[in-house]
Amino acid sequence: MKLYAGDIGAATGFVTDVNAQVLDADNRPIRGLYACGNDMNSVMGGVYPAPGITIGPGITFAFVAARHAAGAAIQARRQSAAA
């Protein structure tokens, strides 16, 4: 068996916006669909420098996504109450 050097992680995933919302083919957010961690396109620009590098961005964008989704849910509830 031959072994070849290479990265141990993936650096590709869903393309997202600043709110961690997944973007469609026209770069528009897909309502209600978020990605973070290894499912999100790497913030490291396609490089996997060391084990654990996805932990910080994963935690950060999970927080961002949850905060955005909660805000959207509150806004939808207010709109339905006003109708």
What pTM value is reported for the model? 0.77
Are residues 46 and 11 in contact, defined by beta-carbon separation less than 8 angstroms?
yes
The per-residue pLDDT for 22 is 97
Are residues 48 and 28 in contact, defined by beta-carbon separation less than 8 angstroms?
no
pLDDT of 46 above 80: no
Confidence of residue 18 (pLDDT cuts 50, 70, 90): very high
* b/e map 17-50, b = 16+ CB within 10 Å: eeebbbbeeeeebeeeebbbeebbbbeeeeeeee
Tell me the mean pLDDT in the region 48-71.
89
Mean pLDDT score of the chain, rounded to an integer? 86
pLDDT of 4 above 70: no
